[in-house]
A and B are shown apart, each in its own frame.
Chain A
Amino acid sequence: MDEEQAAMDDKTPIVSLRGIRNRFGAQTIHENLDLDIRRGEIIGLIGASGAGKSVLLRTIIGLNRQAGGSVRVMGLDMDKAKEKQREAVRRRWGMLFQDGALFSSLNVGENIAFPLREFTSLSAALRRDIAMLKLSLVGLPASAYDKFPSELSGGMRKRAGLARALVLDPALLFLDEPTAGLDPLAAGALDRLILELRKNLDLTVCMATHDLDSLYTVCDRVAVLAEKRISAVDTVNGLLRSDYPWIREYFLGARGRAAAERSAADGRTQ
């Protein structure tokens, strides 16, 4: 990859959605939805419950076929591309599902090494070492390696799921409600972990979230899913100046203000 092309690459969005339409029965979830995700950013996806955040993530990674519009990931139109190219793209992204989605019949280590076992022909010892490394990268103790998913707490399952999503060093990471169901300390630790990983692994992260603290501390930009489309994409501070009622209520409600104060206080102490 020469310099010029690399520079150009940096400008083209890593994910580009155009005119997405999703429909379940008579109910329209998305209509004419556009979204660009830039390389290297952490973008938050917010919206009321049932606004279709998860559906949008599932549409991008191809678990849900959109009724209309196009999905381009890493420059590739996912509907027109050949199966081989799509497979190559799939190996360059990772997805963390809400509850980790760990395979219950495998232990944590085997879960993390699963993509390695399927997609590479590395020796078992090296696979084990890579899995071990990812385990420590997401902040889990080595003793978690031999445990089964049912023996882990919700937060640990999420971290293990994150380790599995990261095992092939994806360029693009999707997180579905990464901090939901975690206590504030664990949620904060996960936020810091995401920032750390982004810095070290050149990740682009797209996270659907309800967590206002995450939005303030982690996200470079926030996309607001309302009225069946992305009605605003901006930094948190930019959105605060928006006069869109739902956004104002979201950020300027009691919880939103508390999160803003916390983030400001963090900024001062650092």
Chain B
Amino acid sequence: MTDDLSSPDLSFYLKKTPEGEHLVFSGELTAQRLDRLEKELPGILRKSSGPLVFVLDSLTRLDTAGALFLNQTAENLRAEGRTCTWQGLGANFSRLLELARPPAHDTEKGKSCLAPSAVVEKLGETVCGAGATLVSLLAFFGVFLCRAARVACNPLRLRATSLVFHMEQVGLRAVPIVALLTFLIGLVVAYMGARQLQMFGAQIFAVNLLEVTVLREMAVLITSIVVAGRSGSAFTAQIGAMQANEEISALVSMGLDPHTLLVLPRVLALIFTLPLLVFLADIMALAGGAIAVRYTLDIDIHTFISQLYNVTKMNNFLVGMLKTPFFALAIGLIGCFNGFKVSGSAESVGFMTTRAVVQAIFSVILLNAVFAIFFTSIRM
């Protein structure tokens, strides 16, 4: 029998009788058929006055949504001073009408969001939140330093397996993508530089340009951003999933320190491998540049190398390399920190991972700016 799937539609009309007006319903009065009634009933009611009888004799089905609507209608009419009565209530319908009492109307919430004061409030909240995050990140950094010092006194405490594993994950596995990206960057920098310098007949200086941009800034920055996206997010997701699964709490309950166990190997792995990755990036970017000038300016590889040899002072290379451990530290700490901030739900793992990547890239670029000023002022 499929009849309760194809039951009759709802119909309703107003009938005037000597003892008052009758609102007659037939068919199904359920949530799915209620929309027409909701739209048309106010118009029908406006045409009527005086006592009203709801006639439900030929109603085949009533659900809580329908009962709620009938109750509300009756209540509104009573508020206007009209009397409402029911006719044809079976045991079932009267039980439903009893059950579906309209909820007490509370004052509408949520609308105050648009008030100007709420905007200021939100702004204040955001600023305070950012400040609090910064403070707890610093606290996290402090804990990390303490644990690092303790491990430095007793290197056997370091989880060597974990360290090597993470070095493979964040270092070795990142080689292809870092190599490819920096190769392309070197190619583009040399190509664009050459095109501009050609106009002055100074095309050989494209090599100088390449040397300073790539070794000093580009290779470091691109590598750090890729690593922040690759490994910073992975740290947050791993630690966050452990946090959501109460694995961190389990570690603490066993008297183990999650910082030594989880944070230290990850951050150290980044500090050890990021300089290596940047060194590789330097080579790849220069190789990309060499190929670009070879095909646009007809400067062959030997001329390129001798020119590079003439202009390269160790300065630019060193500046680039000196920045990397700090970037690694920032990326690793921010990744792990956000992992620990995950609360319970799987949703917050995703949210925190996104935040970690944004914060890590932001801090890398910010630190880079600070270093630029610093190294210029010490004339390096």
Contact = CB atoms under 8 A, between A and B. Distances in A.
Interface string A197-215: 0001110000000000000
A8 B68 contact: no
A137 B103 CA distance: 11
B72 A129 contact: yes
A146 interface: yes
A19 to B, nearest CB: 22
Interface in B310-339: none
Interface string B344-374: 1101100000000000000000000000000
Given A85-B2, A120-B31, A142-B103, A130 B68 contact: yes
Interface in A17-35: none
B64 A74 contact: no
B92 interface: yes
Contacts of A42: none
A92 B5 contact: yes
Interface of A: 1, 5, 8-9, 12, 74-76, 85, 88-89, 91-92, 104-105, 116, 119-123, 126, 129-130, 132-134, 136-137, 142, 146, 149-150, 167-169, 171, 200-202
Contacts of B109: 146
Given A74-B5, A150-B344, A200 B106 contact: no
Contacts of B15: none
Given A1-B7, A167-B31, A201-B96, 15 more contacts: A5-B3, A9-B3, A74-B4, A88-B5, A91-B32, A119-B31, A120-B35, A129-B103, A130-B68, A133-B100, A134-B64, A142-B103, A150-B347, A169-B31, A169-B65
A5 to B, nearest CB: 6
Interface of B: 1-7, 30-32, 34-35, 38, 60, 63-65, 68-69, 72, 92, 95-96, 99-104, 106, 109-110, 343-345, 347-348
A49 B307 CA distance: 74
Nearest to B68: A133
A239 to B, nearest CB: 30
Contacts of A119: 31-32
A118 to B, nearest CB: 11
A8 B2 CA distance: 12
B103 A122 contact: no
Given A8-B1, A129-B72, A120 B32 contact: yes
B345 A126 contact: no
Contact of A116 (B31, B99, B100, B101): B31
Contacts of B96: 200-201
22 contacts: A1-B3, A1-B4, A9-B4, A74-B2, A76-B5, A91-B32, A104-B345, A116-B31, A122-B31, A122-B34, A126-B69, A129-B72, A130-B31, A130-B68, A132-B103, A134-B64, A142-B104, A150-B343, A150-B345, A168-B32, A169-B65, A202-B92
Contact of A133 (B7, B64, B95): B64
Contacts, number: 99
A116 B64 CA distance: 13
A146 to B, nearest CB: 6
> Looking at B2, B5, B6, B104, which has the most chain A CB atoms within 10 Å of its CB?
B5
Given A142-B103, A146-B110, A169-B63, A129 B68 contact: yes
Contact of A1 (B60, B95, B110): B60
A12 B109 CA distance: 48
Nearest to A166: B64
A132 B344 CA distance: 27
B103 A133 contact: yes
A66 B348 CA distance: 35
A122 B7 contact: no
A155 to B, nearest CB: 15
Contact of B35 (A1, A12, A85, A122): A122
Given A136-B103, A202-B92, A171 B64 contact: no
B15 to A, nearest CB: 24
B30 A75 contact: no
Nearest to B6: A88
Contact of B102 (A120, A121, A129): A129
Nearest to A105: B347
B345 A168 contact: no
B117 to A, nearest CB: 20
A122 B2 CA distance: 26
Contacts of B7: 1
Nearest to B100: A133
Contacts of B102: 129, 133
Contact of B65 (A89, A91, A130): A130
